[in-house]
Structure 1
Amino acid sequence: MKTKLILFFLLCHTAIYAQPFKFPVLPESGKSAESLIPSNWKIIDSISGDLNNDNIKDFAFVIEFYRPVKENRAYGDNETELITEIQKPRILAIYFKRSAKGAYRMATQNNNFILRSEEGGSMGDPLRPLAIKSNKLLLSFEGGGNWRWILNYQFKYLDKDWQLTEANNYTYHSASGEMNDKQYDFVNKKRKVISGKINDTTASNETFEQPLTVKSLRTFNSFKKPWTWEISPDEFL
């Protein structure tokens, strides 16, 4: 009888953990940051600042699940989920405030864009601190090995959506100092590329600018995650 009970609980445990992972729907509003966080999740980064140009501080944060689960993550393709990984899911959440003493109100929840702790290569967790500048939310990631990469994205709340207005793809070799800095201005549709050495002056590095042909601005909904937007052949952001 005891053996049967042990087997029963083991089967139940396995069945529970075999279920597909479902992201929670965060609260539409809350009086405090703590009231917005579901159980088994924790804040790993957060920032306050004005994100909708009303001179009232809003709140953005990244939360992480307490244990690894199976996740389908896109690599090099913005539409197809290619690789199943076991890692801790993350959520980006943004809440607005209508008044300084008012409640937080949901502006967006994104379950895909934030890179997970295992997606930075040999450098470890790629997530860098959130920032707010000129009413824009800045998301930054860094990773790689000998060749390292830094990705910066600026999202602005425009026309009731979060649109990618600027981005930066910076790669460099940790030993040789070779670097390539691609800067994208999606509003003015310009692309600047700087290549050369990390320690060289701006004047000694090679710089060129060209028009950026994009049909429309990407948003959190249309930009699955970093490295999945092929801006031009073999050029990913």
Structure 2
Amino acid sequence: MNRSLFLTFIISIFVIHLSIAQRKTPLEYIPNGYKLFEKYKGDLNNDNREDIVLIIKDTKQENIIKNRFGDIVDRNRRGIIVILGKEDNYEKVVLNKDCFLSENEDGGVYMPPELCINIEDEKLKIHYGHGRYGYWEYIFKYLESDFKLIGYESSENHGPKVLYQSKIDFIKKEKTLSENITKDPEAEEEIFEIISYDIKIDDLIKLSDIKSFEDLDMTKF
């Protein structure tokens, strides 16, 4: 092997090793002072590559407190990191460090809502389940290098009986409200009165811009 070919070989090996060394694993995107709470996988941008959603949690000691029942609970807030898989690496597209309440918030007379992440049809769904009281869900899609809120759904229940449902399509700028007009709690049949109307919104809400989901008011639409 002549000197030129040998130098080319050495440089190629060096570049390959440097590239491998620079690759980050998804967990390396977690900021200092935070820990992994939950991890989800799925395809969020229709490229047949595995994308990662991390729910992270702050670790401030001052937020570990005694609740009204005398139990020690961790009230640190949680956040989200969305990482897209590339051919040989990952790309972080969303980091929102504290947009979710702690899982140990006081639920009053009932349990606090349970946060769950679903990845379906290249959409990121942030779901809050509240047991017999219903649920609400925020639907995001990857648009223009960020995840934007394209839909919202909620259901207000009384046990197994649905009382009210709400759906917002932010792309079509339309809201649909459904009210169960069967007031008899013993009636098995559910009859809904449905109304739809247009909403006004100039720009879609970015996941990276949401300071706290508990302050995200969907009734204004």
| TM-score of the pair, normalised by structure 2 | 0.70
Q: Does 1:169 align with 2:147?
A: no
Alignment partner of 1:194 is 2:178: yes
1:14-163 pair list within 5 angstroms: 31-37=24-30, 41-66=34-59, 69=62, 87-99=75-87, 102-119=88-105, 121-122=107-108, 123-143=110-130, 148-163=133-148
Aligned to 2:66: none
> Which of the pair is proportionally richer in helix?
2
Pick the structure with greater CA Rg: 2
Question: What is the SS of the residue equivalent to 1:112?
Answer: strand
The Cα shift of 1:33 comes to 3.7
Secondary structure at the counterpart of residue 213 of structure 2? coil
Mapped contact 1:30–1:36 kept (Cα < 8 A)? no
- Pick closer, same or farther for the CA change 1:109–1:39 going to 2, 3 Å: closer
- Partners of 2:75 and 2:105 within 8 A in 1: no
Alpha-carbon deviation of 1:111?
A: 1.9
SS of the aligned residue for 1:35 comes to helix
Taking a change above 3 Å as real, the CA distance of residues 49 and 31 of structure 1, as seen in their structure-2 partners, is same
**What corresponds to 1:11 in structure 2?**
none
With over 3 angstroms needed to count, the CA separation of the structure-2 counterparts of 1:214 and 1:39, relative to structure 1, is closer
Q: Which amino acid aligns with 1:107?
A: V
Name the % identity.
21
CA distance in 1: counterparts of 2:82 and 2:217, whole angstroms:
26
Once the two structures are TM-superposed, the CA of residue 104 in structure 1 deviates from its matched residue by 2.2
- Aligned mate of 1:211, from 181, 198, 207: 198
Provide, for residues 128-160 of structure 1, a one-character-per-residue CA deviation record: whole Å limited to 9, x for no partner.
33111121111111348x8x3412011111112
Assess if the C-alpha contact under 8 Å between 1:45 and 1:129 holds in 2: no
Counterpart contact for 1:95–1:108, Cα < 8 Å: yes
CA deviation profile, 1:137-185 (whole Å, cap 9, x unmatched): 11111348x8x3412011111112221001112222338x352111110
Seen in structure 2, the aligned counterparts of structure 1 residues 201 and 227 have a Cα distance that, compared at 3 Å, is farther
**CA distance in 1: counterparts of 2:213 and 2:220, whole angstroms:** 9
Query: Match for 1:172: what amino acid?
Result: N
The answer for unaligned runs of 5 or more in structure 1 is 1-28, 71-85
> Do the aligned partners of residues 223 and 34 (structure 1) sit closer, same or farther apart at CA in structure 2, a change above 3 Å counting?
closer
SS in 2 for 1:111: strand
Aligned CA distance change for structure 1 residues 154 and 187 (closer, same or farther; 3 Å):
same
Alignment RMSD (CA, Å): 3.1
Contact 1:227–1:236 (Cα < 8 Å) also in 2: no
Contact 1:163/1:219 (<8 A) preserved: yes
> What is the Cα deviation at residue 218 of structure 1?
1.0
Q: TM-score scaled to structure 1, two decimals?
A: 0.66
Q: Is the 8 A contact 1:68 1:89 kept in 2?
A: no
